[in-house]
Structure 1
Amino acid sequence: MSRAWHAAGLGLALLLLAGCTAAPVRDTAPAVDPARARAHQEARRVQLEAMPAWSLQGRLAVSVGDKGGSGRLDWQQDGGQWRVALSAPVTRQSWRLSGGAAGATLEGLEGGTRYGPDAGALLLEATGWPIPVEELSWWVRGLASPGAELEFGADGRPRRLLAGGWTVDYQEWSAATDGWPDMPRRLQAQREGVRVRLVVDQWGTP
Structure 2
Amino acid sequence: MRTILIFISLLLISGCAYRAEQAPAGSWQAQKQQLTKLEHWQLAAKLGIITPDERGSLSLFWRNNSDDYRLNLTNVVGKRVFDLSRLSGRIELIDSEGQRHTADNARDLVYRLTGWDLPVEQLADWIKGLPGNADTVSFDQDGRPALVQSHGWQLRYLGYTQIDQLWLPSRLELSHAGTTLKLAVSRWELNP
TM-score computed with the length of structure 1 as normaliser:
0.74
Q: Which runs of 5+ in 2 are unaligned?
A: 1-18
Q: Select which of 127, 151, 170 maps to 1:140.
A: 127
Give the corresponding residue for 1:17: none
Distance 1:68 1:152 in 2: 30
Distance 1:67 1:54 in 2: 31
* Residue 82 of structure 2 is aligned to residue 95 of structure 1: yes
Aligned-residue identity in percent: 28
Q: For the structure 1 residues 200 and 91, does the alpha-carbon distance in structure 2 shift closer, same or farther, using more than 3 Å as the test?
A: closer
Question: Any conservation in 2 of the 1:37–1:152 contact (CA below 8 Å)?
Answer: no
Q: Structure 2: which amino acid aligns with 1:104?
A: I
Give the corresponding residue for 1:203: 188
Secondary structure of 1:134's match?
A: helix
Q: Structure 2: which amino acid aligns with 1:141?
A: K
Give the corresponding residue for 1:149: 136
Question: Any conservation in 1 of the 2:59–2:74 contact (CA below 8 Å)?
Answer: yes
Q: Which runs of 5+ in 1 are unaligned?
A: 1-32
Question: Any conservation in 2 of the 1:52–1:77 contact (CA below 8 Å)?
Answer: yes
Q: Which has the larger radius of gyration?
A: 2
* Residue 44 of structure 2 is aligned to residue 63 of structure 1: no
* Residue 32 of structure 2 is aligned to residue 45 of structure 1: yes
Q: For the structure 1 residues 114 and 38, does the alpha-carbon distance in structure 2 shift closer, same or farther, using more than 3 Å as the test?
A: farther
Shift of 1:48: 1.9
Question: Any conservation in 1 of the 2:70–2:83 contact (CA below 8 Å)?
Answer: yes
Q: Structure 2: which amino acid aligns with 1:200?
A: V
Give the corresponding residue for 2:7: none
| Structure 1 or 2: more strand by fraction | 2
TM-score computed with the length of structure 2 as normaliser:
0.79
Secondary structure of 2:166's match?
A: coil
Question: Any conservation in 2 of the 1:167–1:189 contact (CA below 8 Å)?
Answer: yes
Structure having greater relative contact order (Cα 8 Å, sep ≥ 6): 1
Secondary structure of 2:133's match?
A: coil
Shift of 1:146: 2.1
Shift of 1:155: 2.8
Secondary structure of 1:131's match?
A: coil
* Residue 106 of structure 2 is aligned to residue 119 of structure 1: yes
Distance 2:59 2:117 in 1: 22
Q: CA RMSD in A?
A: 2.4
Distance 2:179 2:23 in 1: 30
